[in-house]
């Protein structure tokens, strides 16, 4: 049976289930025990497997890797749902002076291979992530080195005060601590397709585009967790297929990007968890060559975009207007609709193009075409029509996600490239990809000099009120020069699960970190 036929069958089945309103929810309130019980393999339907660096936390940069490795690796500190920093692998931390932090580590922690977790692993991890060239490195500009005081105490030394350091080491997506001996001796492939962490689960199997098998880490430092024996993350690129599998009962939980599709199961007995609006579709722009090197053309593109209509049509009414920091992040600026060039102004756009003698110019937009990114496809068609109305021909260049991502990471893209964003550890992190001098994806050139200086100011500002002001200045400059475009922001995912899964609640940032607290009704 062909893949195409498989997909057709799944779509037909999903449609029939939707029409009949039937589902396989078979657990009643009477079946649910009073407290958590141990055992069982959770079947979780997900969209894509890790790409571009796999699950190596110091080389991978995609959300597809992060949302898997958070089950395996843990950060030095953590954050609660309100963004407040909490203990993690470090039970306590203190700032010895303006540029030195001391971390007191949790005792009796072991990695999944049974080796003890010590300060030398923290020193190695911090220094490796700072030199990695990934997002962590772009944010750890002020980090210099770490010193082991004893097995359970480590100091981090900065070259200057940093407003982002604690955010990086408390973020599950960027602050992962690895086992020094294993990581330093493993090959590139072993680090990308294997892992040794302190987290609740360990990777035991990986069938490409089929399943990633996680099993309980018997050495986990919290003896009460996890309750599950393991999790099978099964890959369904098509969202209708995922929904059909949940309704059939072959999946205990899934997540969906399409909010409209998630609403179909209301009243069918499934739980629905909505995440914060942190998925920004960032349009990175090459400001160093081609038509988009001209600021007037970039500004014309921004003015030509009717963001309210885009949010209504391209995201089925669920989109929100935002700056570079998504509105679901507590740090987001107020009134992003008032940023320069955000008001829909086709006449102003045409005037800019005429001034640049660029009416009729062609600009290419590259974007992922995989089924798991289907909810974004309407955006590019809407943008194409809006830009055509002012005299710009938007050339659509769909590519597989892996190719889109590798093109982006190389920094060799031309025109515009669309990269979905996720929640970040600090407001400054959302700008790092196109403003950090260390980033290969920084294609702002001379146009980004002022913005880069403002970004560096934000990094080294600690006072909350001053940071808020610095962020507003940075958002304004980026919007004025149109160094990056955010057409809309939506929730990252909607999670759906059967009553068979108990004790689980989604985190606001869509990392699924609370699966370690979930348990299955037999």
pLDDT tens-digit readout, 143-157: 999 999 999 999 999
Are residues 105 and 118 in contact, defined by beta-carbon separation less than 8 angstroms?
A: yes
Spatial distance between the Cα atoms of 127 and 257, rounded to a whole number of angstroms: 36
3-state secondary structure of 433: helix
Q: Which residues pair with 484 in a beta bridge?
A: 284
Number of H helices, E strands in the chain: 17, 21
Residue 375: pLDDT band with limits 50, 70, 90:
confident
Per-residue pLDDT of 102-135, as tens digits, reads 999 999 999 999 999 999 999 999 999 999 877 7
Lowest mean pLDDT among 101-110, 223-232, 401-410, 510-519: 401-410
Per-residue pLDDT of 280-326, as tens digits, reads 889 999 999 999 999 999 999 999 999 999 888 766 678 899 999 99
Per-residue pLDDT of 451-467, as tens digits, reads 999 999 999 898 889 99
Per-residue pLDDT of 236-290, as tens digits, reads 989 999 999 999 999 999 999 888 888 888 889 999 987 788 888 899 999 999 9
Are residues 491 and 318 in contact, defined by beta-carbon separation less than 8 angstroms?
A: yes
21: pLDDT strictly greater than 80:
no
Q: What is the four-CA torsion angle of 353, 354, 358, 364, rounded to 10 degrees?
A: 20
Spatial distance between the Cα atoms of 271 and 487, rounded to a whole number of angstroms: 30
β pairing state of 85-87 and 77-79: antiparallel
3-state secondary structure of 136: helix
Within 8 A by CB and 6+ apart from 244, the residues are 10, 11, 13, 14, 17
Q: Model's pTM, two decimal places?
A: 0.82
Q: What is the mean pLDDT of residues 354-370?
A: 96
Spatial distance between the Cα atoms of 259 and 139, rounded to a whole number of angstroms: 32
From the list 12, 186, 169, the residue with the least C-alpha distance to 88 is 169
Spatial distance between the Cα atoms of 522 and 516, rounded to a whole number of angstroms: 17
First to last CA, the chain: 33
Are residues 298 and 292 in contact, defined by beta-carbon separation less than 8 angstroms?
A: yes
Spatial distance between the Cα atoms of 518 and 383, rounded to a whole number of angstroms: 42
Spatial distance between the Cα atoms of 325 and 327, rounded to a whole number of angstroms: 7
The DSSP letter of residue 7 is H
Residue 25: pLDDT band with limits 50, 70, 90:
low
22: pLDDT strictly greater than 70:
no
Phi, psi of 97 (to 5 degrees): -155, -170
Q: For residue 220, with 0-12 CB atoms within 10 Å meaning exposed, 13-18 middle and 19 or more buried, which class applies?
A: buried
Q: Output the CA torsion sign for 262, 267, 273, 274.
A: positive
Spatial distance between the Cα atoms of 404 and 367, rounded to a whole number of angstroms: 6
Are residues 355 and 296 in contact, defined by beta-carbon separation less than 8 angstroms?
A: yes
Phi, psi of 124 (to 5 degrees): -60, -45
Within 8 A by CB and 6+ apart from 403, the residues are none
pLDDT score, position 28: 66
């Amino acid at each position: 049976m062909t893949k195409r036929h498989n997909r057709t069958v799944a779509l037909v089945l999903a449609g029939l289930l939707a029409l009949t309103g039937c589902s396989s929810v078979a657990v009643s309130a009477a079946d649910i025990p009073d407290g958590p019980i141990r055992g069982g393999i959770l079947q979780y339907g997900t969209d894509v497997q890790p790409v571009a660096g796999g699950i190596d936390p110091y080389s991978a940069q995609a959300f597809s890797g992060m949302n898997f490795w958070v089950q395996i690796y843990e950060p030095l500190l953590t954050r609660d749902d309100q963004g407040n920093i909490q203990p993690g692998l470090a039970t306590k931390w203190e700032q010895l002076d303006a540029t030195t932090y001391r971390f007191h580590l949790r005792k009796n922690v072991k990695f999944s291979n049974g080796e003890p977790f010590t300060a030398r692993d923290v020193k190695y991890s911090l220094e490796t992530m700072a030199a990695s060239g990934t997002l962590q490195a772009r944010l750890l500009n002020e980090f210099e080195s770490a010193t082991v005081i004893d097995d359970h105490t480590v100091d981090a030394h900065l070259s200057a005060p940093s407003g982002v350091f604690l955010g990086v080491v408390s973020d599950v997506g960027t602050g992962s601590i690895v086992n020094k001996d294993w990581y330093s001796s493993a090959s590139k492939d072993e680090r990308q397709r294997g892992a040794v962490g302190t987290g609740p689960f360990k990777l035991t199997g990986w069938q490409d585009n089929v399943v990633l098998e996680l099993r309980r880490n018997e050495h986990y430092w919290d003896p009460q967790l996890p309750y599950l024996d393991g999790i099978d993350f099964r890959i369904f690129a098509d969202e209708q297929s995922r929904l059909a599998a949940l309704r059939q009962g072959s999946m205990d939980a899934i997540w969906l990007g399409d909010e409209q599709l998630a609403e179909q199961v209301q009243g069918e007995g499934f739980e629905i968890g909505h995440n914060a609006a942190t998925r920004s579709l960032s349009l990175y722009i090459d400001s160093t060559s081609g038509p988009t090197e001209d600021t007037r053309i970039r500004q014309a593109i921004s003015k030509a975009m009717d963001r309210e209509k885009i949010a209504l049509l391209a995201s089925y009414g669920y989109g929100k207007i935002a700056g570079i920091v998504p509105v679901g992040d507590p740090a987001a600026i107020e009134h992003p609709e008032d940023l320069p060039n955000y008001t829909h102004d086709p006449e102003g756009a045409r005037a800019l193009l005429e001034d640049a003698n660029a009416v009729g110019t062609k600009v290419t937009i590259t974007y992922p075409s995989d089924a798991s990114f289907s909810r974004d496809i309407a955006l590019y068609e809407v943008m194409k029509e809006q830009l055509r109305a002012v005299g710009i021909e938007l050339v659509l260049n769909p590519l597989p996600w892996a190719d889109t991502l590798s093109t982006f990471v190389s920094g060799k893209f031309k025109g515009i490239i669309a990269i979905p964003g996720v929640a970040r550890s600090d407001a400054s992190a959302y700008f790092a990809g196109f403003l950090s001098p260390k980033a290969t994806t920084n294609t702002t050139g001379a146009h980004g000099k002022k913005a880069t200086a403002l970004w560096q100011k934000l990094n080294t500002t600690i006072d909350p009120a001053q940071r808020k002001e610095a962020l507003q200045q940075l958002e304004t400059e980026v919007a004025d020069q149109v160094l990056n475009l955010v057409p809309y922001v939506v929730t990252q995912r909607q999670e759906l699960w059967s009553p068979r899964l108990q004790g689980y609640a989604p985190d606001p940032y869509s990392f699924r970190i609370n699966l370690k607290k979930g348990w299955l009704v037999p």
